Structure 1
């Protein structure tokens, strides 16, 4: 369950740190010195690189020596670049879960646009490209950064009129494979990408719906229908690419059990009216544990209990079949 984060460090702060690195004549400083102006331009182009990374790669200019120097900066132990480690520790302390998936897991730093020399080494220590993430999300994401798709448009009778009409409406049109172009036109559409915790501000609000399935301890997790089409497509792509639905099922199950235990300890009747009355209190506590992230796993599940009757019915049915653990019993976990 992705989370929006407001990153306060500015591009100018990163450039100043690199300038100090060069002035101190650290490793590769002779290569980096003539690249400072180029780095400024590339850093300022970062948001465009996120939305259209292939276009950014075609626009930028530097050689392999500069790429190697950019790549090394992240591994440098220079004091002027210590903000990278400081941010890593700060994220561990302040975040209630991984900003990519919302699960409470081990947090380290991920390069949203991969820093490997063949990808985007220029962004290796750009603060806006350093995203706190758990190891599972980093493993699923790997070096992925975008997926460009093409949409086929059926041809009409008049080839000339259709082509003119589509070219007037869309900027990016190409006729693919002239031999087969009698039947279809290929239109380039906006590429799909993973959600960026610093860029996609719609993640400030609740964006997920969680439904139970007919299978035991299995839930469906997908984007809310109230989102704009582009936001909904990107969120569902993000969930699928990082395999979040499968990974969060056990966490949702544990959250469901915790809610049942809370209701039992407070002598709340397990009927719809009584539970609904308690959900705002449970949501407030869950948001505090999740550092106010609305799409962390626990708040997202409780909001689904509030908004979706089928999710609430599942909780009630589960409470009837659940075996209450005996805290005095010493038994092994059977796997």
Structure 2
């Protein structure tokens, strides 16, 4: 099957965000491990086998960028962050309230000086992915943005007085992480960052004020966290960022157009591409794309929803791509689902068949448009 080739320093025209639904065999193995019925080695062997199968399915679907589906993770962000020195996970009394559902309770806190350990488990995860992806496709690593610790974690004030005090250590930690993945052969890194949704509604901005920050000032801190983390990265490392409004079992957390943060997102972030949620009215229109001020910044339009299995009308998606091109040239646009299919191991409320139909739909439309 012919694959879609990338242009220099851009995401592929037909893309995917990262996570895939966990196969039933893998879910059962994780449950057996949690109850002590299988060993960590046995679980890892099953993970390995299922990831190899997933890699081949992605290739067969026509994807050029290949992930491990985040099959070894329970959460899209906590697993990575808990692997940092000075950060620990814990179970709060209640979970985060998504619209229509309460998430499984989990959170993180900073309890010591933050650093990136040489034995972070996700280095081995990427090594396995890279080894099995092969030379004709690109192994893509997805990790949470540093902002997920700044805005989603609690900080021991005896360690760091505030967010600004944590920032220097956090960005150095990410610089080390990025270099470590690069040294293993990573040339495509994606930072996942739902914290930007906090600026897109009055509810989110109120939450930031409760932290003691002015939303506009916090945007500058968030941009600084990204840019300083990426400072000095190798020239041949492609870095993109995914922004969405939350995804838990097909439910969302936030809503609002990109307008309130558009000048920062499109004009101040040193990334090569942006994966943006545009699958329904919660995301607003394409007008904020006019703030893109570089011809080397690519926007991946998340027009295909992962929340329901119904396939979008192809003509409608093409029309929306055309509408977006009124604000940003078609050459700077790409297409993907609006989010991953399983931000947590529970996964969205769709079938595996629906999932692959969605991916195939993205690839077909991208081939026809570009």
| Same fold, TM-score > 0.5, yes or no | no
Q: Shorter-chain TM-score: what band? A: under 0.3
TM-score by length of 2: 0.23
More helix by share: 1
Larger Rg: 1
RCO higher in structure (CA 8 A, sep ≥6): 2
